Each structure stands twice: as C-alpha cells, then as structure tokens.
Amino acid sequence: MNNIEYLIKTKRWSQIVESYSPNFLSKHLSFKEGLLLSRKLLENESWDVDLQKFAVVLIEEIKKFYSQEWKSNWKHEAYRGYAYDVLGYEYEKVFEAYQKAADSASSPTPEVLMRLAMSWNCPGIYPKMTKEKATEILEDVAKKVPYMQAASCLVRLYREANQMEKAEYWKKVFKESEKKNLYDRRPYLDFFEEYGW
C-alpha cells in the first residue's frame, strides 16, 4: 500500500494536506478516489475549514485533470456547488456550479433548482437570479416537494414583497414540512455510493 492510500485509510487528513498538493493528488489518484477523498476532507469529523478549503481546490483540480469523466455526469457539478456551499462564502461559485448542473441535466431536479433559487440574495448573484425568478422556481419546487428550505425562503420573499397572505400560506407549509422533517437531503450526491462511499 502506498503512503497516500495509507493516510486515507487511517484518516490522517491533516497529514495529507501538509504532504501533498491538490494538483499532485488529482494526478496520482483515480477520478473516483480523488472525489471520495475530497468529500472526506469536506465533511471531516471536526468540520475543519482548512481541510474544507483544500477539498474545494482538490475538486477543481480533479475537474481540470479528468475533464471527460467530470462532464459525464451533471451530478459532479452539483457536488461542486455543494462543496462551495459548505465553505459558505463563495456565492458566485455556488451559483455557477448549480447552474451548470441544471443546464447539463436532461431534467433538472427540484433540489438543484431550489439551491439555485436560494442564492437570489447572495452578493454577486443579481441579476443572474432575481427575486421574481427565485419566487417562481421555489413555488414550483415546493409544489412538487414542500422542502422546509423552499417554504422558508418563500415566506421571506413574500414578506419582503408585502404579500402577507402568501407569506402566511408558506409559513403553514413550512410548519407542516418541519413536522415531517422534510428537508433536502441532497439526493444528487448519490453517485458517491457507486464510487464506494
């Protein structure tokens, strides 16, 4: 077993980050191994931000080095959006990745569309996503699957538009969804299961 495999198997995330560059790892691990490592770093046990930042750079290197494999599945872009979302401040990258995922999918999933719409008020997103467009997308998503996130955003959007009747309606939907614990579990990350997650 080589040293990288040993460090991954023993979950020595900090040692990996200190010993190897994302560029090196993307070239010396297979496409699937690289993505699996990136997710382990991204969702590390202590949610260490430095490991998460490294994971995002690793994802970008994998995307460049394995461009054909990357393009083979729109869910890879959705994962990239999720990764930037975890960092919590690269709003334009989040939007760009989810937009690419939606454009690449033959039929964009409600979850990806919801993530796109939820970025309407983030810095740098307007006019790519307006309040009106976000409201339209979120209503469409929430009618199909009343996720708490979608309903909560609709409450806020309608309050800001001073449409209190609609805000109250979506508040009720939110409360019902909350009782059912109905939130987006990011089903677009399911490709990791076939990669060995």
- Examine residue 197 and state whether it is found in any structural domain, yes or no: no
- Examine residue 15 and state whether it is found in any structural domain, yes or no: no
- Examine residue 94 and state whether it is found in any structural domain, yes or no: no
pLDDT tens digits along 112-137:
999 999 999 999 999 999 999 999 99
Its domain, for residue 156, covers 105-185
- Examine residue 114 and state whether it is found in any structural domain, yes or no: yes
pTM equals 0.93
Please give the average per-residue pLDDT across 22-30, as a whole number: 96
Cis status, amide bond into 123, omega within 30 of 0: no
- Of 89 and 113, the structure prediction assigns the larger pLDDT to 113
- Examine residue 49 and state whether it is found in any structural domain, yes or no: no
Domain count, the chain: 1
- Examine residue 138 and state whether it is found in any structural domain, yes or no: yes
